[in-house]
């Protein structure tokens, strides 16, 4: 059986951070890789804009770390909300099944 090599799935993505281009390989489809890269660029821009008066005092690394922490915080919150939603759906489904079983006559 012929399979695609790992390189066949990699996409080359270039982003602009701090006025410089950065190119990297992404192991996802082009549109998804671009969306992820654009999300990072936007988050970095948000952090930079909050510190425009301190740009000389705050390093690029600190800006990147702050952006990474913001993205991670969003991710953790989304995972928590997804878990709560799944638990709620499961509980509601179990209640519906219980109600259906009570109202359907046997045999």
Question: pLDDT tens digits for 15-54?
Answer: 999 889 999 888 878 788 889 999 999 999 999 888 877 6
Instruction: State residue 54's pLDDT score.
Output: 60
**What angle, rounded to 10 degrees, do the helices at 60-103 and 30-50 form?**
120
Q: Which residues pair with 26 in a beta bridge?
A: 11
Quote the pLDDT of residue 80: 98
How many angstroms separate the CA atoms of 17 and 92, rounded?
Answer: 46
Band of pLDDT at residue 106, cut at 50, 70 and 90: low
pTM of the model: 0.71
Mean pLDDT of the chain: 85
């Amino acid at each position: 059986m012929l399979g695609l090599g790992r390189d066949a799935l990699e996409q080359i993505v270039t982003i602009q951070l701090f006025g410089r281009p950065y190119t990297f390989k992404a192991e996802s489809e082009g549109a998804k890789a671009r969306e992820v890269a654009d999300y990072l660029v936007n988050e970095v821009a948000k952090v930079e804009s909050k510190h425009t008066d301190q740009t000389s005092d705050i390093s690029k690394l600190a800006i990147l770390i702050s952006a990474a922490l913001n993205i991670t915080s969003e991710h953790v919150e989304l995972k928590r909300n997804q878990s709560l939603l799944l638990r709620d759906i499961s509980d509601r489904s179990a209640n519906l099944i219980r109600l259906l079983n009570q109202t359907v006559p046997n045999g």
